[in-house]
């Protein structure tokens, strides 16, 4: 039997269970990004004194703001902060909850696991860890007071300001 002259591979693609092209899958792993260092140190709390004082006396506020940004607005600041406060006052395992957000932040921004593991940082230096995460997001141009959605609107407006207007004459050239 000879292959058909229609240019199709033998057997024809119309045969049941035969595909004309195999499904495309990548044999290469996703590109690896080397971890970046944090923009501020763990113990640089006094570089933002306002946040330092708020975090010292009411860490649930700082945590809620961080969680809203990292969750991309899916949970409001107040809800995350209230859950953190509830865990803090009832179980003293609030650091486990906040540790998961540090891990999430490191994954989103390719940050180094430094100076030690996320759980150890949050277990031993909870307020310092929250301050560092807050400063990191602040240094990445998030306004921590306005939340995720307002930050996205602000960025969209800023991007629209930099785009030149499209004129019909420019399209004809």
Is pTM, for the whole model, over 0.75? no
Domain ranges in the chain are 46-144
Cα separation of 157 and 145, whole Å?
Answer: 18
What token pair was written down for 95? 């650091």
Neighbours of 122 (CB within 10 A): 24
* Distance from C-alpha of 127 to C-alpha of 54, rounded to nearest angstrom: 10
Per-residue pLDDT of the chain (173 residues; tens, 9 = 90+): 555 555 555 555 555 555 555 555 555 555 667 888 999 999 998 899 999 999 999 999 999 999 999 999 999 999 999 999 999 999 999 999 999 999 999 999 999 988 889 999 999 999 999 999 999 999 999 999 999 999 999 988 887 766 666 666 655 55
């Amino acid at each position: 039997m000879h292959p058909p002259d229609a240019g199709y591979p033998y057997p024809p693609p119309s045969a049941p269970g035969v595909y004309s092209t195999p499904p495309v899958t990548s044999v290469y792993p996703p590109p690896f990004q080397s971890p970046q260092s944090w923009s501020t140190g763990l113990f640089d709390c006094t570089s933002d004194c306002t946040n330092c004082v708020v975090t010292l006396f009411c860490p649930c506020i700082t945590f809620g703001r961080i969680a809203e940004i990292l969750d991309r607005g899916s949970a409001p600041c107040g809800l995350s902060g209230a859950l953190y406060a509830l865990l803090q006052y009832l179980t003293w395992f609030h650091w486990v909850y906040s540790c998961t957000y540090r891990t999430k932040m490191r994954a989103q921004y390719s940050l180094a696991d430094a100076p030690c593991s996320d759980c150890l940082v949050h277990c031993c230096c909870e307020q310092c860890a929250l301050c560092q995460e807050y400063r990191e997001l602040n240094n990445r141009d998030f306004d921590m007071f306005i939340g995720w959605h307002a930050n996205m609107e602000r960025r969209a407006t800023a991007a629209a300001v930099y785009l030149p207007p499209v004129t019909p004459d420019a399209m004809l050239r």
